[in-house]
Chains A and B, each alone.
Chain A
Amino acid sequence: MNFDLTMPAQLTSALGPDLLLMGGAMLLLLFAGWRPESDEHQRTVGILSMALCIFTMVAVGYYAYAGYTASVGVIAVDNFRWATDEILLIATLGTIAMSLDYNVREGITPGETHVLLLLATSGMMILAAARDLIIVFLGIELMSIAVYVLVGVNRRTERSAEGAIKYFLLGAFSTAFLLYGIALVYGATGATNFVEIRANIVRFSLEHNGLLLVGIALILVGFGFKIAAAPFHMWAPDAYEGAPTPITAYMAAAVKGAAFAALFRLWLEAFPTLLYIWHEAVWWLAAITMVVGNLVALAQRNIKRLLAYSSIAHAGYILVAIVVGTSLGSAAFMFYLFAYTIATLGAFAVVVALGRPGEDNMNIEDYAGLWSVRPGLAVAMAVFMLALLGFPIFGGIGFFAKWYVLQAALQAPFPQTRLAVLLVITSVVSAGYYLYVVMVMFMKPRTSAVVPARPSGWTRAVVWASAAIILIFGLFPDAIVALTQRSEPSVNTQPASPARGHVAMQSH
Chain B
Amino acid sequence: MEPHYPLFYVFHFYLFGVIALASAVVFVTRKSPVAAALWLVNTMFSLAALYVMLDAQFIGVMQVLVYAGAIMVVFLFVVMLLNLGHPSALADARGLGWRLAAGLVGLGLLSEIMIIIRAKLPQQLIVPRDFNEQQLEKLNAVGMVAAPLFRDYLLAFELTSVLLLVAIAGAVILGRGRTVRAR
Which residues of A are interface residues toward B (Cβ below 8 A)? 8, 11, 15, 22, 26, 29, 37, 74-75, 106-110, 112-113, 115-116, 119-120, 122-123, 126, 132, 134-135, 138-139, 141-142, 145-146, 148-149, 152-156, 184, 187-190, 200, 203-204, 206, 209-214, 357
Q: Is the CB of A142 within 8 A of B163?
A: yes
Q: What residue of chain A has the Cβ atom nearest to residue B123's Cβ?
A: A204
Residues of chain B within 8 A of A190, CB atoms compared: 122, 124-125
A106, B183: Cα distance in complex, Å: 9
CB atoms of A134 and B153 under 8 A apart: yes
- Asked if B116 and A149 sit within 8 Å, CB to CB, the answer is no
A156 with B180, Cβ < 8 A, contacts A22-B162, A26-B165, A209-B120 known = yes
The interface residues of chain B lying within 8 Å CB-to-CB of A184 are 116
**Chain B stretch 21-60: residues in CB contact (< 8 A) with chain A:** none
Cα–Cα distance between A21 and B119 once the two chains are bound (Å): 44
B166 neighbours in A (Cβ, 8 Å): 116, 119-120, 123, 142, 145-146
In the complex, what residue of chain B is closest to A206 when comparing beta carbons? Answer: B122
The answer to the question of B167 belonging to the interface, with a C-beta cut-off of 8 Å to chain A, is yes
- List of B residues within 8 angstroms of A149 by Cβ: 170-171, 173-174
Cα distance A204–B169 in the bound complex, in angstroms: 45
Number of A-B contacts (CB under 8 A): 112
Cβ-defined contact, A204 with B125, below 8 A: yes
Q: What are 19 A-B contacts defined by CB distance under 8 Å?
A: A11-B154, A29-B169, A74-B156, A108-B181, A113-B173, A116-B169, A123-B163, A123-B166, A126-B159, A132-B156, A134-B156, A141-B163, A145-B166, A145-B170, A154-B180, A188-B119, A211-B115, A213-B115, A214-B115
Q: Is the CB of A153 within 8 A of B174?
A: yes
* In the complex, chain B residues 146-172 whose Cβ is within 8 Å of any chain A Cβ: 153-156, 159-160, 162-163, 165-167, 169-172
- Per CB-CB distance, the 8 closest pairs between chain A and chain B, nearest first, are A149-B170, A204-B122, A210-B119, A107-B181, A211-B119, A190-B125, A210-B115, A138-B159
With A112-B169, A190-B124, A200-B122 known, 18 other A-B pairs at CB within 8 A are A74-B156, A75-B155, A110-B173, A115-B169, A123-B166, A134-B153, A134-B156, A135-B159, A142-B159, A142-B166, A154-B180, A156-B183, A187-B121, A188-B121, A203-B124, A204-B125, A210-B119, A357-B183
B2 at the interface (CB under 8 A from A): no
> A11's contact among B155, B167, B183, by CB below 8 Å, is which?
B155
**What's the least CB distance linking A393 to chain B, in Å?**
43
Give chain A residues whose Cβ lies under 8 Å from the Cβ of B129.
Answer: none
Give the A-binding residues of B (Cβ under 8 A): 112, 115-116, 118-122, 124-125, 153-156, 159-160, 162-163, 165-167, 169-174, 176, 178-183
B156 touches A209 (CB 8 A): no
Q: Which residue of A lies closest to B155 (CB)?
A: A74
Q: Which residue of B122, B162, B179 contacts A122 across the interface (Cβ within 8 Å)?
A: B162
Measured between beta carbons, the chain B residues less than 8 angstroms from A152 are 174
Q: Which residues of A contact B125 (CB under 8 A)?
A: 189-190, 204
Query: Given the complex, which residues of B lie within 8 Å of A138, measured CB to CB?
Result: 156, 159-160, 163
Check B181–A109 contact: CB distance below 8 A: yes
Considering residues A126, A145, A148, which has the most beta carbons from chain B within 10 angstroms of its beta carbon? A145
- By a CB distance below 8 angstroms, the chain B residues around A209 are 119-120
**Bound Cα distance from A152 to B173, whole angstroms:** 10
Nearest neighbor of B118 in chain A, beta-carbon distance = A210
Q: How far is the CA of A29 from the CA of B179 in the complex (A)?
A: 16
The chain B residue with its CB closest to the CB of A152 is B174
- Shortest Cβ distance from residue B128 to the other chain A in the assembled complex, whole angstroms: 14
Check A108 against B170 for contact (C-beta < 8 Å).
no
Do B162 and A112 touch across chains, with their CB atoms under 8 A apart? no
Q: Could you tell me the distance between the alpha carbons of A155 and B181 in the complex, rounded to whole angstroms?
A: 10
Contacts of B119 in A (CB 8 A): 188, 209-212
Kindly list chain B residues whose C-beta atoms are within 8 Å of the C-beta of A213. Answer: 115
Q: How far is the CA of A484 from the CA of B120 in the complex (A)?
A: 42
B115 contacts across to A, CB distance below 8 A: 210-211, 213-214
Whole-angstrom CA separation of A300 from B166 in the bound complex: 35
Which residues of the partner chain B approach A119 to less than 8 Å between Cβ atoms?
A: 162, 165-166, 169
Q: For A211, what are the chain B residues with a Cβ–Cβ distance below 8 Å?
A: 115-116, 119, 121
CB distance from B40 to the nearest CB of A (A): 16
Q: Smallest Cβ distance from A188 to chain B, in angstroms? A: 7
Complex Cα gap A116–B112 (Å): 38
Q: Are the C-beta atoms of A153 and B118 separated by less than 8 Å? A: no
Residues of B close to A154: CB separation below 8 A: 179-180
Contact status B180-A107, CB under 8 Å: yes
Rounded to whole angstroms, the CA-CA distance of A29 and B183 in the bound complex is 26
Instruction: Tell me the complex Cα distance, A112–B122, Å.
Output: 49
Question: B124 contacts which chain A residues (CB < 8 A)?
Answer: 190, 203-204
Give bound CA distance, A15 to B156, whole Å.
Answer: 13
Whether B167 and A106, one on each chain, are in contact in the complex, defined by CB atoms closer than 8 angstroms, is no
List residues of chain A with CB within 8 A of the CB of B162. 22, 119, 122, 142
CA gap between A8 and B150 in the complex, in Å: 10
Chain A residues whose C-beta falls within 8 Å of the C-beta of B121 in the assembled complex: 187-188, 211
**In the complex, A115→B153 CA distance in Å?**
27
Residues of A close to B154: CB separation below 8 A? 8, 11
Give the Cβ gap from B68 to chain A, nearest Cβ, in Å: 19
B156 A155 Cβ-Cβ under 8 A: no
Q: Could you tell me the distance between the alpha carbons of A373 and B122 in the complex, rounded to whole angstroms?
A: 70
- Which of chain B's residues have a CB closer than 8 A to the CB of A126? 159
